[in-house]
Structure formats: C-alpha cells, structure tokens
C-alpha cells in the first residue's frame, strides 16, 4: 500500500510550519485538507499558505472554486484521489495537512459519497417546504426515509437535513448507506499525526493569529470580495472571520466587536476540532510546547520508522 502522511490538529496549532519542513525532508507534496482554502480570493481569513511557501513545496487543492460555486465533500474526495495518484506517479509522497476532519475522513475511509452535486431545483423545493411547513416537517420526512442519518443530524440543522433528503430523492438511496460503502481505491499505509498544544497556549496563538489577519488586511479582503459581487450570505462568506468582518462593514458590529467575536468563535471551533479528532485513527499524537522545532526531530523519526527507509 502507498503511504499517506497526515498532519492535523486544531486551528493555529502550527501545522503549516511543520508540514513545509516535513515535506522537504521526506520528498512529499502538500495536499490541503481545509474546507475553506478551496475558495479563490479568500486567502487571509483562511490562513492560506503564502506564494513563497507554495514555491518551496508544491501545494494542492487550493483555489479550486469561486465563493459562489458549490463544493461538497464528494467534490473534495474526487479531487483528492486524482491528486494523490499524480503525486505517486511522480515518485513522491502526499502529505495531507489541515484541520477539516470530515475531509480527512472521506479520504482515508473511502466512503462512497453521493454522486453529483446539489440539484438547484430540488433544493429550492425543499427550502420552500421549510418556509411553508417549518423545519420539523422535513426532519420528519428524513426520519421516515433515512432514520440512521436523522439520528446524526440535529432537527434544526436545515442545511444537512436538506442535503440528506436531496441525496435520497435524487438517487433513491439513503445517504447513510452511501456513506457506509467503502471503495477499494482508498487503501493507504496511514501515518496519522496529531498536533496539539496546552489550551492556554493554543488560545493565545488563536488570538495572535486573528490580530495578524487584521493587520494583513482581512477587512480589505472581505470588502474586495463584496465588491466583486460575492454576497455576504454565501456559505463561504458566512465562515469564521468573513461573517464578522461583513457585519462590521455593514455597520452591524464595530471592528473591535468583530475581532472579539472572531477570537471567541475560533476558540469554539478549535474545541470542536479536538472533539472530532478524538474519534479518528490517530497513531501518533504530539503536545507541542513553545517552539515546534523542538518536536520536529521526534516527528520526523516517527515518520522515518513508519516509512521503513532512511530520509536524507
């Protein structure tokens, strides 16, 4: 089986720095596992690698679609498979790094996601039913056709309820069944590394990162996106940072309030990431304190041992 190195952890833990060094040492190319970095024009708020960093190591699955284009986990899965196959063909290793746990799970478990993308007409019909009958109506429909999926979705999570029903109505198969299926194309020798930090240190790094994003021009980036015609109501524009800055630009928040909200919501997001990754098949976890360089050697040695050969 081909090796797949995974380097993940909560936001602001230090994945980017370590992934660049590891990729250079083990002859790898970096594959992004970040659900927001797939969008063009959204660089600062997504902490996308800089052009200089991308020049030092090849990066993949960045800037795939515009913010007004739909992009699903199934789309990501297809891009991932094509990308890793081409990396192996070049005699290199893929280093999958990022904090979107669902994307990573889709890659390593190989569940067959629903074919195709969303169907606009069907989605509009389901949304109209919510407006007419209320969200509980659609949730009860989902309970009838796919109780397994319904158990995993909160009744008020309209987006996921609609998507699950959309899959069933367009394919005739419950989304839970499609997601259970395994594909023989997804067989890797996993080297799954998880980075963490002490909570106080992680929160400090999150706050520092938010301040750096503001200094780097996050307000200007959001304003530019709006001027390009991308509605603040678009799903990517409702993500961390972009939503708060949009509220500031439309005078719903002061800038100080927006920054405070970004920090608070990012801390909450980090908590959710930690909860998610506790369920994943991680085989090497590292709690970093201070400079991540002090831990680089141990991580590299672990990868070398799993690869079974020397890394120059």
Domains and CATH numbers, the chain: 2-111+183-307 (3.40.50.300), 120-180 (1.10.20.140)
The predicted structure's pLDDT at residue 310: 47
More confident residue, 210 or 149: 210
Backbone phi, then psi, for 35, in 5-degree steps?
Answer: -70, -15
- Give the Cα separation of 270 and 247 in Å (integer): 22
List own/partner pairs for 225-230 with CB under 8 A and 24 or more apart: 225/41, 225/42, 225/67, 228/41, 229/68, 230/41, 230/66, 230/67, 230/68
DSSP lists the bridge partners of residue 288 as 197
The answer on pLDDT for 198 being more than 80 is yes
Q: Per this entry, what is the length of the chain? A: 312
* Among 269, 249, 295, residue whose Cα is nearest residue 203: 269
Question: Could you read off the pLDDT of 118-133 as tens digits, one per residue?
Answer: 667 788 888 889 888 8
The answer on pLDDT for 184 being more than 50 is no
pLDDT band at residue 179 under the 50/70/90 scheme: low
Strand intervals (E) in 21-92? 28-32, 59-60
User: Could you tell me the pTM of the whole model?
Assistant: 0.79
Angle at Cα 74 formed by Cα 68 and Cα 76, nearest 5°? 70
- CA count, 13 A, side-chain hemisphere, 19: 31
Sign for the CA dihedral angle at 171, 176, 181, 187 comes to: positive
Radius of gyration of the chain, Cα coordinates, nearest whole angstrom: 20
More confident residue, 45 or 156: 45
- Give the Cα separation of 181 and 110 in Å (integer): 8
Strand order in the sheet with 284-288: 59-60, 28-32, 93-97, 2-8, 188-197, 284-288
The answer on pLDDT for 181 being more than 90 is no
Backbone phi, then psi, for 244, in 5-degree steps?
Answer: -65, -40
The predicted structure's pLDDT at residue 154: 87
Question: Could you read off the pLDDT of 220-255 as tens digits, one per residue?
Answer: 999 999 999 999 999 999 999 999 999 999 988 899
Question: Could you read off the pLDDT of 24-34 as tens digits, one per residue?
Answer: 999 999 999 99
Mean pLDDT of the chain: 90
Query: How far is residue 262 from each of residues 3, 137, 226, measured CA to CA in Å?
Result: 37, 34, 19
The predicted structure's pLDDT at residue 72: 84
Q: Please answer whether residues 72 and 113 qualify as being in contact, where contact means their C-beta atoms are separated by less than 8 angstroms.
A: yes
Question: Could you read off the pLDDT of 59-118 as tens digits, one per residue?
Answer: 999 999 999 998 888 889 889 999 999 999 999 999 999 999 989 998 988 655 555 456
Question: Could you read off the pLDDT of 276-308 as tens digits, one per residue?
Answer: 999 999 999 999 987 777 889 999 999 999 998
- Give the Cα separation of 302 and 217 in Å (integer): 38
pLDDT band at residue 175 under the 50/70/90 scheme: confident
Percent of residues, the chain, with pLDDT higher than 70: 93
DSSP state of 48: P
The answer on pLDDT for 312 being more than 80 is no
The predicted structure's pLDDT at residue 309: 58
């Amino acid at each position: 089986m081909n090796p797949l190195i995974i380097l993940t952890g909560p936001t602001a833990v230090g994945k980017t720095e370590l992934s660049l060094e590891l990729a250079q040492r083990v002859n790898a190319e970096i594959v992004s596992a970040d659900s927001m970095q797939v969008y063009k024009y959204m660089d600062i708020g997504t902490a996308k690698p800089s052009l200089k960093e991308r020049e030092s190591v090849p990066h993949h699955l960045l800037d795939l679609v515009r913010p007004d284009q739909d992009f699903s986990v199934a789309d990501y899965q297809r891009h991932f498979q094509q990308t890793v196959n081409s990396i192996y063909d070049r005699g290199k290793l893929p280093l999958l790094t990022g904090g979107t746990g669902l994307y990573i799970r889709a890659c390593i478990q190989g569940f067959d996601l629903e074919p195709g993308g969303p169907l606009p007409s069907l989605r509009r019909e389901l949304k109209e039913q919510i407006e007419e009958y209320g969200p509980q109506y659609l949730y009860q429909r989902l309970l009838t056709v796919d109780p397994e999926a319904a158990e995993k979705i909160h009744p008020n999570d309209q987006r996921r309820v609609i998507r699950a029903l959309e899959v069933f109505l367009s394919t005739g198969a419950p989304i839970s069944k499609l997601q259970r299926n395994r594909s023989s194309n997804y067989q890797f020798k996993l080297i799954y590394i998880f980075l963490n930090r002490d909570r106080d240190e992680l929160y400090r790094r999150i706050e520092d990162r938010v301040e750096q994003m503001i200094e780097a021009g996050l307000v200007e980036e959001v304003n530019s996106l709006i001027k390009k015609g991308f509605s603040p109501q678009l799903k990517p524009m409702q993500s961390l940072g972009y939503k708060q800055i949009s509220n500031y630009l439309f005078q719903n928040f002061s800038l100080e309030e927006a920054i405070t909200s970004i920090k608070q919501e990012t801390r909450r997001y980090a908590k959710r990431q930690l909860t998610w990754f506790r369920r994943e098949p991680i085989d090497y976890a590292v709690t970093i304190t201070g400079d991540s360089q002090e831990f680089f050697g141990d991580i590299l040695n672990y990868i070398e041992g799993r690869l079974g050969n020397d890394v120059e």
